[in-house]
Structure 1
Amino acid sequence: MTLSFDDAAATVKTLKTSPSNDELLKLYALFKQGTVGDNTTDKPGMFDLKGKAKWSAWDEKKGLAKDDAQKAYVALVEELIAKYGA
């Protein structure tokens, strides 16, 4: 069964184990690209390490269509459900 984007976004919050930081960054980037589109925000300052990592992850998705980002997000969530359980 393939989840919808909205279902995937809700389900990822119920994983039995928290995904790794890399997985969380991928989720964040695909979610932002799938909902907002290309990153046009200013890059966070050098002392905002978490914000900078999130910004960079999202910025790497630049040019990816929203629909494709949503499909990739759903696929990643389904992988994480298989890996961690929901």
Structure 2
Amino acid sequence: MSDLQARFEQAVAESKQLSAKPDNQTLLKIYSLFKQATSGDASGSRPGFSDFVNRAKWDAWHELKGRAPEQAMNDYIALIQSLKPQA
């Protein structure tokens, strides 16, 4: 396992233990970076207008189209680090 992959997996674990729940926009950013890092570009069709949550998730992920998985991992790690309380 690469160092980047190990740091990414650590950040994923830390994201589940944040002391405060992030706002919705930040949650969408976390989701979209995770999906881009693990699945690549958004796939499938855009959810319908009445499926607000999944449509917002898909849109956030689709905005990252073309971003390399490695860059998405680095961005995810940085975002989670910024959300952790500073000692």
Name the TM-score, length of structure 1 as normaliser.
0.90
Between 39-48 and 27-36, the greater mean CA deviation after superposition = 39-48
**Partners of 1:70 and 1:64 in 2: CA distance:** 10
1:46 has 2:49 as partner? yes
1:68 has 2:81 as partner? no
Report what 2:7 is aligned to: 4
* Deviation for aligned residue 1:10: 0.7
Percentage of pairs with the same residue: 43
4+ long deviations beyond 2 Å: none
Structure 1 spans left out of the alignment, 5+ residues = none
**Partners of 1:31 and 1:71 in 2: CA distance:** 10
* Deviation for aligned residue 1:82: 3.2
* Deviation for aligned residue 1:40: 1.4
**Partners of 1:77 and 1:16 in 2: CA distance:** 12
How many residues align? The count is 82
**Partners of 1:4 and 1:13 in 2: CA distance:** 15
The alignment yields a C-alpha RMSD, in angstroms, of 1.5
Structure 2 spans left out of the alignment, 5+ residues = 1-5
**Partners of 1:82 and 1:74 in 2: CA distance:** 15
Asked which structure has the greater RCO (Cα within 8 Å, sep 6+), the reply is 1
* Deviation for aligned residue 1:41: 1.6
Secondary structure in structure 1 of the residue aligned to 2:20:
coil
Name the TM-score, length of structure 2 as normaliser.
0.89
